[in-house]
């Protein structure tokens, strides 16, 4: 049998609301046995079953909105199903993946569940039967609902072998994985003690513990105490789990299932069958019994059951061995969780192997001497047992009342030691690497709730690097509509950022739902923005930027005869000379753009200011990197050969205002039209000096630009002539390129030699190009691709792109290297799904456990009155039945009678509180409607709006996007019919 890895766990057991709480309960030897909650039944009415048992808190809580289940359906759903859905979500998260990423895959679901008590209780009165109750109560639906809500198309089955159901489910899941029916499987079980009925059965059979507690292998053992529980594990083939770098709790080495056959009574346990199932599992796992360090026994704590189990365990394990095989049973802590009993034992065993310590078995201190454990090579765990180094093997047993036995063999996860300097970096950075931590949720309130939960979890860790934690959050905590993202370096910063965003005063949570994807335009900065050491922080921080700057450097080196990267990062002042300034800026622009596109930030359009057009052209696919490098180096060389003496000034004047001044100064020219009152003038220095005095006298802002020549003026003619010679290998841009030479978007135009020659001597039509870009693609984000913020200021001054968000991954000498991550975080919040892995060096891509999703506990769906004491009207099971005179219809939509009627109809059909039925609510995603409910909705609408008359579902379909769309459609019908 092949190996299967346990890569994710979630569970809830009495006294333990999650995996960590479960482990804590086991390690402190706690138990979850408590008096019967009033919600289940009145203990005094059923004295025969005793007054206590194991009940999970909040078994009635279900975040139906999260799973798009209507309140009405949630109320009709079997509580077993309600518990499974959030458990599945959290288990998949724990496996290091966003559950949504598995949608559409052939993931298998194998759920052990015993009996069908909910159906018996709710469907026993034919007069009260409803369609929702029908689908809500079927046992098979326990697995199918998970497959439906998560969109898993692999095998999906509920398993009922009585108390061994969930371990048999794990066995079937492993087989399905190894047969390659599926690549990921959810397996486990669920049990909810809905009524005292089965307890009465146990009592009549003499199997019920007087105190409601299982006391496995104890001299005081007197029977079973019943308990709730839900637990799921995520299973993968070991090789796949290792290849994907998933955290592995333990490895399922082999398992076996058999049957008692015709033994001495259908419900009596059978020693020989138990022995055979153990041997069979060890054989399949390829292990000898003497290597098994401990067995998590079935251990119900009935006198007969314990005796038979120990006899079987002894027969297998009483072989010559160094130390006895340790045994214990979690039923001492939890009671008998029946359909979830096997998974409770399996999870305990997996956690024990993971933590390398086996918890003590409760009630072991009064070991039953009649079990003769010592003679049988067995030892009851009276204290926790620390496991030795290396692989430990453990067994898990689970036996069903009807004689179906299961045993699983688990081994510790393979250790993968880390080598030093795996990322090749030998130097120790003074600061921790940057990451972006992400959290997502289904509502603003849920986002706050989960931000707070993450903050608490991270605050409980020692302060330290956050990159691996961030990387894990990108894998797990993305995919829901409301998004949070923050760029941080260490866990201290992370906790602060999470707490700030979780505060009710922070409005970011409300704004955290993008409705589309961002439309990004890249603006490439031109000459004058360069400085020694530019982008050094980013170079230190980003492996991606390092890689792409090296590409540009390599392309430029043959033309420059030296490394422009080393020149830039070395702080060389020569970066101000045109010969180096132009290649240096090109390299920075190219590398910044490639860094962003590698991260999944693809531009909808590009624009380059003057020299910036070269890197823009490469990004748009108009020039290849080598060709552009050759051209830029040549342009730099030609510029350097020009006689000195020219310069440039930026003015706060429009071209009209300047015309007279320029006419009076031969050799001067408008070099750039950056905005309506934002004009750059080129020319001889003395002429510029005179113009500056004139303008300053008129109160116009003038600034001398830090350039060496009068670019974009007739003084550039010799350089232009040089650029005009030779051919340029170019193609029409694949991405819209707003040309600052022409002031419009290039379509089929080629950026050939003539283009580049004209480009250097003609004015830069920035304002026109930006306006054309905005008109063409309507960007939501402008990103400056340059070492200093220049174009974003021009754009802001010109007002061409109102409402657009500005981002800059390398904003000048004061930048810290954090800004790239901040830009990616902003784009994620705006709806982009970046290629997160590219943000991190390989050494920071480790898996870190994250706190599981915290679901809403606002909605509870449980009403024992309806079945324990029948004869209440069925509507009582609906907690949020709409009350007349409340909700949206009487609020802000009170003046729209059609909308009011639609809201009322929706609330009636779905059982939603009317205030949740807002205009924007979508029928399928937000309200959980299905085709049957649409039919009911049509009837409701027609009844409430008689004047609309007959409308077919076919006619309504296009309008069934949202509540508002349907109301608008019906209003139109009403208008048409009344006119």
Partner 1 sequence: MTRAPAAGDRGAVYLASTGTALPGDPVDNTALGRLLGVSEEWIDLFVGTRTRHFGWDPVTGEVRGSLADLCAEAGARAMDAAGLGSADVEFVVLATATPDTLLPTTASEVADRLGLDHLPVYQIQAGCSGAVQALDLGRTLVLGGRRAGLVLGGDVTHRFLSPRRDTARMPTEELVNHVLFGDGAGAAVLTDEPEGERIALRSVLNSWAGRGRPPGQLLDWYGTTDRDSPRRMLAEDYKAIEEHVPAISVEILWELLGGLGWSLDDLAFLLPPQLSERMTARIVERLPAGPAREISCVSETGNTGNALPFLQVDRLLPEFAPGDRALALCVESSRWIRAGFALEKV
**Given the rule CB under 8 A, which residues bind partner 1?**
27, 354-357, 384, 386, 389, 414-420, 426-428, 461-465, 468
Q: Write down the least CB distance from residue 454 to partner 1, Å.
A: 17
Q: Write down the least CB distance from residue 461 to partner 1, Å.
A: 7
- In angstroms, the CA 579 to CA 833 distance is 39
Sequence-distant (6+) residues with CB within 8 A of 237 are 2, 3, 4, 5, 177, 178, 183
Q: Write down the least CB distance from residue 17 to partner 1, Å.
A: 19
Q: Write down the least CB distance from residue 468 to partner 1, Å.
A: 8
Which residue number, 6 or 308, has a Cβ lying nearer to partner 1? 6
Which residue number, 143 or 494, has a Cβ lying nearer to partner 1? 494
Q: Write down the least CB distance from residue 393 to partner 1, Å.
A: 16
Q: Write down the least CB distance from residue 829 to partner 1, Å.
A: 29
- In angstroms, the CA 671 to CA 610 distance is 10
Burial of 272 (0-12, 13-18, 19+ CB in 10 A): middle
Q: Where are the beta strands (DSSP E) in 239-370?
A: 250-259, 292-296, 325-328, 357-358
| Segment (H or E) for 910 | helix 897-910
Which residue number, 356 or 693, has a Cβ lying nearer to partner 1? 356
Paired sense of beta strands 435-441 and 678-684, if any: unpaired
Which residue number, 356 or 372, has a Cβ lying nearer to partner 1? 356
Which residue number, 163 or 466, has a Cβ lying nearer to partner 1? 466
Which single residue is written with the structure tokens 């080495």? 253
Q: Write down the least CB distance from residue 416 to partner 1, Å.
A: 7
973: which 2 tokens? 């019908």
262: which 2 tokens? 């015709």
Are 364 and 330 within 8 A, CB to CB?
Answer: no
- In angstroms, the CA 345 to CA 316 distance is 20
Question: Is residue 815 left, alpha or beta, with left meaning phi > 0 and alpha meaning psi from -120 to 50?
Answer: beta
Q: Which residues pair with 806 in a beta bridge?
A: 782
Neighbours of 383 (CB within 10 A): 12
Q: Is the dihedral of CA 692, 696, 702, 706 positive or negative?
A: positive
Q: Write down the least CB distance from residue 248 to partner 1, Å.
A: 11
Q: From residue 29, give the alpha-carbon distance in Å to each of 15, 268, 326, 364, 420.
A: 12, 30, 17, 11, 39
| Segment (H or E) for 242 | helix 238-243
336 labelled catalytic: yes
Which residue number, 389 or 748, has a Cβ lying nearer to partner 1? 389
Q: Write down the least CB distance from residue 367 to partner 1, Å.
A: 22
Are 41 and 343 within 8 A, CB to CB?
Answer: no
- In angstroms, the CA 692 to CA 799 distance is 25
Of the residues 317, 336, 609, 912, only one is catalytic, namely 336
Which residue number, 391 or 445, has a Cβ lying nearer to partner 1? 391
Which residue number, 324 or 359, has a Cβ lying nearer to partner 1? 359
As a residue count, the chain comes to 979
- Listed residue (628, 624, 542, 627) closest to 585, CA to CA: 628
Question: Is residue 733 left, alpha or beta, with left meaning phi > 0 and alpha meaning psi from -120 to 50?
Answer: beta
Sequence-distant (6+) residues with CB within 8 A of 2 are 178, 237, 238
Q: Which residues pair with 157 in a beta bridge?
A: 110
Sequence-distant (6+) residues with CB within 8 A of 424 are none
Q: Write down the least CB distance from residue 253 to partner 1, Å.
A: 18
Of the residues 11, 81, 87, 163, only one is catalytic, namely 163
301-311 as b/e, with b when 16 or more CB fall inside 10 Å?
A: bbeebbbbbbb
Which residue number, 333 or 682, has a Cβ lying nearer to partner 1? 333
- Listed residue (156, 163, 141, 144) closest to 78, CA to CA: 141
Which residue number, 20 or 793, has a Cβ lying nearer to partner 1? 20
Are 51 and 226 within 8 A, CB to CB?
Answer: no
Q: Write down the least CB distance from residue 82 to partner 1, Å.
A: 32
Of the residues 80, 149, 171, 298, only one is catalytic, namely 298
Q: Which residues are marked as active site?
A: 163, 298, 336
């Amino acid at each position: 049998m092949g190996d299967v890895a346990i890569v994710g766990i979630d569970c809830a057991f009495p006294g333990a609301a999650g995996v960590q709480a479960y482990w804590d309960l086991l390690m402190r030897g706690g138990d979850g046995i408590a008096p019967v909650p009033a919600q289940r039944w009145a203990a005094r009415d059923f004295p025969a079953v005793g007054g206590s048992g194991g009940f999970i808190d909040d078994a009635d809580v279900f975040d139906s909105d999260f799973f798009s289940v209507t309140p009405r359906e949630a109320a009709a759903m079997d509580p077993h199903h309600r518990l499974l859905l959030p458990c599945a979500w959290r288990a998949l998260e724990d496996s290091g993946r966003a559950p949504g990423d598995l949608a559409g895959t052939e993931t298998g679901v194998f759920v052990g569940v015993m009996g069908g008590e909910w159906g018996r209780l709710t469907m026993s009165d034919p007069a009260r039967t409803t369609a929702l109750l029908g689908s809500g109560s079927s046992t098979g639906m326990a697995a199918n609902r998970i497959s439906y809500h998560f969109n898993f198309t692999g095998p999906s089955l509920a398993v009922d072998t009585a108390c061994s159901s969930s371990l048999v489910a794990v066995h079937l899941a492993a087989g399905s994985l190894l047969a390659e029916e599926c690549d990921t499987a959810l397996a486990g079980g669920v049990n909810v003690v809905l009524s005292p009925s089965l307890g009465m059965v146990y009592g009549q059979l003499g199997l019920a513990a007087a105190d409601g507690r299982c006391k496995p292998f104890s001299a005081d053992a007197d029977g079973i105490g019943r308990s709730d529980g839900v637990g799921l594990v995520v299973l993968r083939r070991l090789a796949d789990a290792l290849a994907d770098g998933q955290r592995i709790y333990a490895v399922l080495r082999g398992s076996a299932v058999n049957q008692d056959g015709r033994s001495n009574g259908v419900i009596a346990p059978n020693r020989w069958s138990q022995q055979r199932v153990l041997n069979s599992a060890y054989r399949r796992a390829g292990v000898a019994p003497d290597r098994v360090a401990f067995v998590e026994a079935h251990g119900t704590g009935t006198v007969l059951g314990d005796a038979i189990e120990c006899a079987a365990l002894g027969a297998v394990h009483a072989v010559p061995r160094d130390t006895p095989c340790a045994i214990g049973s979690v039923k001492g802590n939890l009671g008998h969780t029946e359909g979830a009993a096997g998974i409770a034992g399996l999870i305990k065993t997996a956690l024990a192997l993971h933590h390398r310590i086996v918890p003590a078995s409760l009630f072991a201190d009064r070991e039953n001497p009649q079990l003769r454990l010592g003679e049988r090579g067995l030892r009851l765990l009276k204290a926790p047992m620390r496991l030795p180094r290396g692989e430990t093997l453990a067994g898990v047993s689970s036996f069903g009342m009807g004689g179906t036995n299961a045993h699983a063999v688990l081994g510790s996860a393979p250790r993968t030691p880390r080598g030093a300097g795996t990322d090749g970096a030998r130097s120790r950075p003074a600061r921790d690497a940057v990451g972006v931590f992400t959290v997502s949720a289904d509502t603003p309130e849920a986002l706050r709730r989960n931000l707070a939960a993450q903050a608490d979890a991270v605050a409980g860790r020692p302060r330290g690097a956050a990159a691996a934690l961030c990387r894990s959050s990108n894998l797990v905590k993305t995919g829901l509509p409301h998004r949070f993202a923050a760029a941080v370096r260490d866990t201290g910063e992370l906790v602060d950022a999470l707490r700030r965003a979780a505060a009710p005063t922070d409005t970011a949570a409300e704004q955290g739902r993008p409705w589309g994807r961002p439309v990004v335009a890249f603006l490439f900065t031109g000459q004058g923005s360069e400085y020694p050491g530019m982008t050094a922080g980013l170079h230190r921080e980003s492996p991606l930027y390092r890689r792409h700057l090296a590409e540009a450097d390599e392309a430029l080196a043959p033309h420059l005869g030296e490394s422009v990267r080393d020149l830039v990062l070395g702080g060389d002042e020569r970066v101000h000379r045109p010969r180096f300034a132009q290649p240096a800026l090109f390299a920075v622009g190219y590398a910044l753009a490639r860094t962003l596109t590698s991260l999944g930030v693809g531009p909808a359009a590009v624009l380059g200011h003057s020299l910036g057009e070269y890197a823009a052209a490469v990004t748009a696919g108009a020039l290849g990197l080598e060709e552009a490098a050759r051209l830029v180096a040549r342009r730099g060389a030609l510029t350097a050969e020009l006689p000195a003496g020219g310069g440039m000034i930026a003015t706060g004047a429009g071209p009209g205002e300047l015309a007279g001044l320029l006419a009076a100064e031969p050799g001067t020219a408008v070099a750039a039209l950056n905005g309506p009152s934002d004009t750059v003038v080129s020319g001889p220095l003395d002429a510029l000096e005179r113009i500056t005095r004139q303008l300053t006298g008129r109160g116009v802002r003038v600034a001398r630009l830090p350039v060496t020549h009068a670019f974009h003026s007739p003084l550039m003619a010799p350089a232009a002539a040089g650029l005009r010679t030779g051919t340029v290998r170019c193609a029409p841009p694949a991405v819209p390129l707003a040309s600052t030479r022409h002031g419009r978007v290039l379509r089929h135009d080629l950026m050939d030699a003539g283009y580049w020659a004209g480009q250097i001597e003609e004015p830069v039509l920035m304002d026109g190009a930006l306006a054309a870009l905005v008109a063409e693609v309507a960007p939501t984000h402008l990103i400056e691709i340059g070492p200093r913020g220049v174009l974003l200021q021009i754009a802001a001054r010109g007002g061409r792109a109102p409402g657009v968000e500005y981002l800059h991954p390398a904003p000048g000498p004061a930048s810290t290297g954090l800004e790239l991550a901040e830009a990616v975080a902003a784009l994620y919040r705006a709806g982009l799904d970046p290629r997160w892995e590219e943000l991190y060096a390989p050494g920071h891509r480790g898996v870190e456990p994250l706190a599981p999703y915290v679901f809403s506990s606002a909605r509870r769906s449980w009403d024992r009155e309806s079945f324990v004491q029948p004869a209440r009207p069925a509507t009582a099971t609906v907690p949020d039945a709409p009350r007349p005179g409340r909700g949206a219809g009487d609020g802000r939509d009170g003046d729209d009678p059609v909308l009011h009627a639609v809201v009322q109809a929706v609330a009636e059909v779905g059982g939603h509180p009317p205030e949740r039925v807002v205009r924007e609510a979508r029928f399928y995603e937000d309200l959980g409607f299905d085709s049957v409910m649409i039919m009911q909705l049509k009837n409701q609408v027609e009844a409430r709006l008689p004047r609309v008359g007959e409308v077919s579902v076919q006619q309504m379909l296009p309008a069934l996007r949202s509540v508002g769309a349907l109301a608008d459609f019906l209003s139109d019908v009403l208008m048409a019919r009344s006119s």
